[in-house]
Amino acid sequence: MKALVYEDKGRIQVQDRDIPTPAAGELLVRVSHTGICGTDLHVWHGGMKRVKPPVILGHEFSGVVEQAGSSSSEFEQGDRVTVEPLITCGVCPACRAGFYNVCSNLKLLGVDTDGAMAHYVVVPEHRTYRLSDRLSLKDAAFVEPLAVCVHMVERSGLESGQTCLVVGGGPIGLITAFAARLKGANVLISEMNAYRIQLAQGYGFDVINPLQGDLRGKIRDATAAKGVDVSFEATGSPQGTTACVENTGIRGTVAICGLPKQLHEVDTYQFIAKELSVYGSRVYTRSDYEQALALIESGRFKPEWLISRTVSLDEAIEHGFEAIQRGDALMKVLISLENEAGR
């Protein structure tokens, strides 16, 4: 099979690989679609020290079961599926408490072990979801990033009628904005990129460009000087964290999921003075995945809103990774493997 492999810092390449064999409790999935995520770019640039190359990238995906590792499997060849790409230990305090998403030994397909930017991938059966006929394989590749955002919104305690600020209008930020609006919240987005601003405004979001005015003043005007009830940080930047802290009102909530590229200072006095709550948000739980599936199946969230381009595996580096890195007018790029030859 072909696979897109992270070889070393700054170096990725499409290679020939052997098709893996599933063990008991695992499934071999023939990949249909895989999303390119900010985490994949982070790995590409050597920003995740835990990654031990060579490793096949890709953790947002859908596909069809090719083979089960056990005759007692609940899945059959031909089942259409999507997968939580998490590998957990099951024995650490977090796992025993039911919080497997923060497992002390958490591993991720496409980061810590081979992932889905390949014709085939081996996955844990207990993290696999059978798809209904209403859901296309292309759309099902969007369940994973939507689940990330559903988890963050649920973790924050955001309620219908509240006002929230999403800092960052990239894929995770914009999906979070959709998830918050589906929750019934009033959503403000802070974003500087002209393409992202135009896209978000096209879907009816109120977007503030902090480079073109006083973000804090505009939010005070929009909230009658109260500040927002909840803020979501989706950039991983010091400026993003500061914007959340400054613009969240008394006894409000700051939710953080943007991966920081470096340590940065936070004005902790603001947490004291305003009695703010802060929540970290890491991946998702089963209930988040089920909710994300239901939102896409029902049509309340449409992946087509954010899919800018679909490429083949051979095109993925030039027209996916490098295009995103250049800052081309793209929101989400999918790699399609469903019609490739030699499978």
The residues annotated as belonging to the active site are: 39, 42
CA dihedral (244, 247, 253, 256) in degrees, to 10, reads -10
Q: Residues 121, 60: contact at Cβ < 8 Å?
A: no
- Please state, in angstroms and rounded to a whole number, the distance separating the CA atoms of residues 41 and 285: 24
Q: Is 255 helix (H, G, I), strand (E, B) or coil?
A: strand
In the sheet where 163-167 sits, what is the strand order? 206-208, 186-190, 163-167, 228-233, 248-256, 277-280
**In a 3-state reduction of DSSP, which class is residue 151?**
helix
Cα(36)–Cα(150) distance, integer angstroms: 19
Which residues touch 167 (CB under 8 Å, ≥6 apart)? Answer: 173, 189, 190, 231, 232, 233, 234, 235, 240, 243, 244
Helix 171-182 vs helix 194-202: crossing angle, to nearest 10: 20
Is 21 strand, coil or helix? coil
3-class secondary-structure state, position 139? helix
